[in-house]
Structure 1
């Protein structure tokens, strides 16, 4: 990766994320898309990359920065998609990088002051990764939330996750009911105790390491 080609918008230790504009660096982004077509059956975009920003995650060692995966994001999505395509390269799968990419996409969504959801259809592995991320994010939030119940709107705002994704995840875990015209989130003690016992320690991105402002605001990456 070359600094003249992309902007480094995140760095913590050996992990970096680089923003690449599909309009300014069309050939590079097309090559990323062509690479993704080898591993994603539903991947069709590879020519019209100009409406997208690409966020490439790398892992650094003594030999340089190695691409572990990326996601693309529409510059202006009317449906609030925060990811158009997401890929972790096979040598780096099942090492937590897919979750880091998802976590980073939601960090950007939070900075934008929005809620988001990935564009569908997702690959089989992508769907598994997202369901796992939503479940853990929600259960961790329920563990720290005061009171016996929460509303979907508050959870969506806090986590930047679309309400529909929250509802489907909570329904799967039996943590939601419809009461007096509203969906109410339940805090089942046995589920919270299960989360505490597991002491979930997945790697997460850190907001303090982000050097990025929403492009729509007219501010370049810092």
Structure 2
């Protein structure tokens, strides 16, 4: 490869600049005059460059300064548009390569809540005011996955268990982010009594958060999920059911039956009802005995009996007869449903399932937390 040779015009311009710069010699009297000028205008933030550099360099500096001021003022006008003083709402967030419209307000600190757009690091979830700050942070951030133990990995899919007591700031940022898309969420800063199970998809850049669910370390009512969210950019891809399936896998490992904490969000309720329906249809399709007991079904699936009963009622498959509940199993309806589901699942990424073989988790680790 040959070295680049400057053109004639470039050489002439370089000679003129060097000539102008060499003529701007700084004398002792000039420096003394600059000091006196600085003392007389000590509060002036404008740099005092007269007599210190050439006119050419001074103009280069002032032009660059003007461009920087224009860029900064544009960012401020774009991101500091104030809403009503009594109701701040962040309208958009930028996280990774995605720009998302928010659904609800979230109690970020006031100086951030007043912004129309917020920038988040997709790995540590730190929130920032401007794209410039976000770009600088991305070059320095060393995080590439959530700050917890990886308890499940299958292909590019992983689940990390994050203790709210050990990684308080990350979990608080995760809750603030979730509130932008959940109406009923009330937990923001008191994260120490909770565990957070963060699901990620990995690529060459790192592990990208696709969703999470939280649960109490010691739940009196045996809730296996306190809050659950699939990030909007990953919705309708099957991740919601994967999160639900994983929560019940943990309950099964603990030899417990679990249920999500109420109230559920609208999307959460739809996802759970769909999950319970698939679970029941699969069970009825495989089960050949004439009698089916709700208690046995609950123990086998780790789904609370009340959730199974409500699902059967919504499907019209439960009847109260002679003092007991009877499940009405229509073999044709069940068979048609299973065939339709399997046909839909062929080659579909949204029909993936959690494989218990890849779980690396021991219950009771946080008994004293």
Q: TM-score range by the shorter chain?
A: over 0.9
1:122 aligned residue: 264
1:209 CA displacement: 0.4
Aligned mate of 2:242, from 100, 110, 123: 100
Question: What is the CA RMSD across the aligned residues, in angstroms?
Answer: 1.8
Q: Shift of residue 148 of structure 1?
A: 2.7
Question: Aligned match of 2:230 in 68, 78, 88?
Answer: 88
Mind listing any 5+ residue stretches in structure 2 that lack a counterpart?
Answer: 1-142, 346-350
Whether 1:181 and 2:330 are equivalent positions in the alignment is no
The separation in 2 between residues aligned to 1:155 and 1:88, in whole angstroms, is 28
Check conservation: 2:217, 2:366, Cα contact below 8 A. Answer: no
Report what 1:197 is aligned to.
339
Distance 1:118 1:127 in 2: 10
Larger mean CA deviation between 19-28 and 141-150 belongs to 141-150
Question: Relative contact order (alpha carbons < 8 A, sep ≥ 6): 1 or 2 greater?
Answer: 1
Aligned pairs for 1:1-222 (under 5 A) are 5-200=147-342, 201=345, 202-215=351-364
Q: Give, in whole Å, the separation in 2 of the partners of 1:32 and 1:54.
A: 9
Residues 149 and 187 in structure 1, CA contact (< 8 A), matched pair in contact too: no
List structure 1 runs of 4+ shifted beyond 4 angstroms: 1-4
- Normalising by structure 1, report the TM-score: 0.93
Deviations 1:56-75 (CA, angstroms, capped at 9, x unpaired):
00001122110000000111
Q: From the CA coordinates, give the structure whose radius of gyration is larger.
A: 2
Distance of 1:4 and 1:94 partners within structure 2: 23
Superposition deviation, residue 111 in structure 1: 0.3
Q: Describe the shift of the 1:181–1:8 C-alpha distance in structure 2 as closer, same or farther (beyond 3 A).
A: same
The structural deviation recorded for 1:193 is 1.8
CA contact (8 A) 1:54 1:72 kept: yes
Closer/same/farther in 2, CA of residues 197 and 3 from structure 1, 3 Å limit = closer
Which structure features the higher share of strand residues?
1
What is the distance in 1 between the residues matched to 2:149 and 2:336? Answer: 41
C-alpha distance in 2 between matches for 1:64 and 1:3: 6
SS in 1 for 2:292: strand
CA contact (8 A) 2:144 2:206 kept: no
Mean alpha-carbon deviation: is it higher for 187-196 or for 157-166? 187-196
CA deviations on 1:107-129 (whole Å, 9 max, x unpaired) are: 00000000010001111001000
Structure 1 residue 216: deviation in Å?
5.3
Equivalent residue pairs, number: 219
- Cα 1:3–1:32, aligned 2, differ >3 Å: closer, same or farther? closer
What's the offset of the Cα at 1:167? 0.3
Change (3 A) 1:137 1:4: closer
CA contact (8 A) 1:82 1:109 kept: yes
Task: Identify the residue that residue 135 of structure 2 maps to in structure 1.
Answer: none
- Once residues 4 and 101 of structure 1 are traced to their aligned partners in structure 2, the CA distance between those partners, rounded to angstroms, is 16
Please give the TM-score of this superposition, normalised by the length of structure 2.
0.57
